[in-house]
Amino acid sequence: AQKVTQAQTEISVVEKEDVTLDCVYETRDTTYYLFWYKQPPSGELVFLIRRNSFDEQNEISGRYSWNFQKSTSSFNFTITASQVVDSAVYFCALGRNYGGSQGNLIFGKGTKLSVKP
Amino acid sequence: GAVVSQHPSRVICKSGTSVKIECRSLDFQATTMFWYRQFPKQSLMLMATSNEGSKATYEQGVEKDKFLINHASLTLSTLTVTSAHPEDSSFYICSARDQGEGGIGPLHFGNGTRLTVT
């Protein structure tokens, strides 16, 4: 079964704090994709990152970093020096690999991040 | 970057009427689009997969006669909520993948449509 678990429902931090959003996934597929999306209060979903299951390298993009650990089936997302504009709901998602093309995404329930000034 | 335009962003309709939601890929072609539904403070649930030129594939529990999907071109998919009822009130989001990325690119999402049925 495919499943994504985001155990943290809501997190509240003060501006400039670092925050890590957890994501644990379950899949029987040997190849798959993992994603993070941001959903601000306006509702649209903003793509942040995609990671292929073959690539366990951690990635950093500005204040964002991602830690992919296949051994623990986790794909955690860290925001360094958080800002008020980071306030949003963040979704982790799992995508299957159908011979190189993906099917739909399976989303976690999301973590609502509130960054207070 | 790839842009998906969804229209309308908000719609209020009376119970029993039908509502059409459009999803367009503006700068890429998409043979496949996905329609999701999101209840307040909940995750996105896939409703159906829209395939250009063929019938949509619906997820279990989704009524295909109620949620009509038409994917007539490589840049447009429509979702029609027929005979809407208050329980259909929700946030509907479409997504698409650029077929030019060989089917391995990320999904790009529209801004969503908030449907309220009174």
Q: State residue B31's pLDDT score.
A: 84
3-class secondary-structure state, position B79: strand
Least confident span in A77-86, B50-59, B83-92: B50-59
Mean pLDDT value of segment B49-57: 87
Mean pLDDT value of segment B83-101: 89
pLDDT confidence tier of residue B102, bands split at 50, 70 and 90: low
Using a CB-CB cut-off of 8 Å, the residues of chain B touching A44 are 109-112
The half-sphere exposure of B41 on its side-chain side, counting CA atoms within 13 A, is: 4
**For residue A46, which amino acid is it?**
V
Using a CB-CB cut-off of 8 Å, the residues of chain A touching B93 are 43, 45
Q: State residue B37's pLDDT score.
A: 95
Q: A42: exposed, middle or buried (C-beta count within 10 Å: 0-12, 13-18, 19+)?
A: exposed
Q: B30: exposed, middle or buried (C-beta count within 10 Å: 0-12, 13-18, 19+)?
A: buried
Beta-bridged to residue A34, according to DSSP, are A51, A94
From the list B46, B95, B102, the residue facing A100 with the nearest CB is B102
**C-alpha closest to that of A93 among A83, A105, A80:** A105
Interface list for chain B against chain A, based on CB atoms closer than 8 Å: 34, 41-46, 49, 91, 93, 95, 97, 102-112, 114
